[in-house]
């Protein structure tokens, strides 16, 4: 009997060591099939969340500015039976390292995605990005048509105007003092995201914030992100996209105006643009079921 317990103990120790060697953290609260992992690219340690089996085709998801990989908790498990889903905390966000140089242009995030795919030898990629993450996956697809099978972009186009850029700078300044508690942060988010379910906002608040030494709750983000959130024109690279592309827009959002939509249709022969009425900049959160239906249908029809 004692020998049996010793064997069980040794197996448990081996599992813990193996997880540590792969940079993986495990938690009893983690949902099935979910892992936290780390990888070092371009001198920065990046955190990413994985669902599914590594033998499946890779499906990479990139969040928007000031968001984190766990933003995709409500949609990623839907795809884990058919894909190896990996949601990355981009540099300066969440549990990923901050850039010492304050390098946060779309080009910097794209270089990280390039190194990530190279280091893990990922090909036949399906990419999904929303907001700033959507700009990054567009650039990657334009530069690496040999690696990308399908592209999904959520409520963002190739251009970022000065109005959008300056609004984020003001946001960083206004939120610098943080909140007294996570509950206060949740209430702050609820007041500004009335169409987003409470569970999604609580997940966002929990994983995207941390407690400072003096007790205040602040975002897990480098304040220097604002230096990279500048007016941007990615059309020269976006025009090189060859793979099928799906753009899901929020009907109440003004980020991708009609003239940009028309130019996308004229420029990219394999683009499909779908607007979900009555939602804003994050359709996957405000209308999750409809977003999943659109994406699932697109993936089924665009199989290589």
- pLDDT tens-digit series, residues 170-200: 999 999 999 999 999 999 999 999 999 999 9
Residue 11 pLDDT level (bands cut at 50, 70, 90): very low
Centre a 10 Å sphere on the Cβ of residue 255 and count the other Cβ atoms it contains: 19
Tell me: pLDDT of 93 over 70: yes
Report domain extents, the chain: 2-301
The string of pLDDT tens digits covering residues 201-215 is 999 999 999 999 889
* Alpha carbon 52 to chain centroid, angstroms: 17
Report the range of poorest mean pLDDT among 91-95, 97-101, 153-157, 213-217.
213-217
Of the given ranges (162-166, 210-214, 216-220), which has the lowest mean pLDDT?
A: 162-166
pLDDT tens for residues 59-82?
999 999 999 999 999 999 999 999
Q: Spell out where the chain has E strands.
A: 34-41, 44-51, 58-62, 84-88, 125-130, 148-154, 159-160, 209-211, 217-219, 232-233, 245-250, 271-276
Of 67, 257, 240, 277, the residue nearest 159 (C-alpha): 257
Provide the mean pLDDT of the chain.
Answer: 90
pLDDT of residue 160 exceeding 50 = yes
pLDDT of 163: 83
Look at residue 12 and tell me whether its pLDDT is greater than 50: no
The predicted pLDDT at position 13 comes to 42
Residue 84: name the closest of 107, 54, 63 by CA. Answer: 54
In the three-class reduction of DSSP (H, G, I as helix; E, B as strand; rest coil), residue 85 is classed as strand
Q: What is the CATH number of domain 2-301?
A: 3.40.50.1820
Residue pLDDT, tens place only, 19-68: 333 333 333 344 456 899 999 999 999 999 999 989 999 999 999 999 99
d(CA 25, CA 190) in angstroms, rounded, equals 30
* The pLDDT value given to residue 213: 87
User: Would you say how long the chain is, in residues?
Assistant: 304
| pLDDT score for 302 | 82
Q: What is the pLDDT of residue 33?
A: 64
Spatial distance between the Cα atoms of 235 and 228, rounded to a whole number of angstroms: 18
């Amino acid at each position: 009997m004692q020998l049996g317990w010793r064997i069980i103990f040794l197996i448990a120790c081996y599992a813990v060591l193996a997880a540590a060697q792969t940079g993986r953290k495990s938690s009893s609260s983690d949902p099935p099939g979910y892992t936290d992992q780390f990888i070092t690219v371009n001198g920065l340690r990046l955190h990413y969340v994985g669902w599914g089996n590594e033998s499946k085709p890779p499906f990479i998801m990139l969040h928007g500015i000031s968001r984190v990989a766990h933003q995709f908790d409500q949609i990623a498990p839907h795809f884990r039976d058919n894909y190896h889903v990996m949601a990355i905390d981009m540099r300066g966000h969440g549990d990923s390292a901050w850039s010492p140089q304050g390098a946060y242009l779309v080009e910097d995030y794209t270089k990280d995605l390039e190194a990530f795919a190279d280091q893990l030898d990922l090909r036949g990629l399906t990419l999904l990005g929303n907001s700033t993450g959507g700009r990054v996956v567009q650039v990657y697809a334009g530069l690496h048509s040999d690696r990308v099978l399908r592209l999904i972009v959520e409520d963002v186009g190739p251009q970022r105007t000065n109005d959008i850029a300056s609004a984020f700078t003001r946001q960083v300044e206004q939120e610098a003092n943080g909140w007294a508690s996570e509950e206060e942060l949740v209430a702050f988010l609820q007041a500004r995201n009335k169409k987003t379910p409470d569970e999604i906002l609580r997940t966002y608040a929990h994983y995207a914030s941390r407690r400072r030494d003096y007790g205040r709750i602040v975002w897990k983000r480098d304040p220097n992100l604002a230096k990279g959130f500048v007016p941007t024109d990615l059309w020269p690279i976006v025009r090189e996209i060859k793979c099928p592309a799906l753009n899901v827009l929020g009907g109440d959002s003004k980020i991708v105006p009609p003239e940009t939509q028309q130019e996308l249709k004229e420029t990219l022969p394999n683009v499909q643009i779908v607007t979900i009425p009555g939602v804003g900049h994050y359709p996957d959160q405000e209308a999750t079921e409809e977003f999943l239906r659109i994406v699932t249908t697109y993936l089924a029809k665009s199989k290589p």
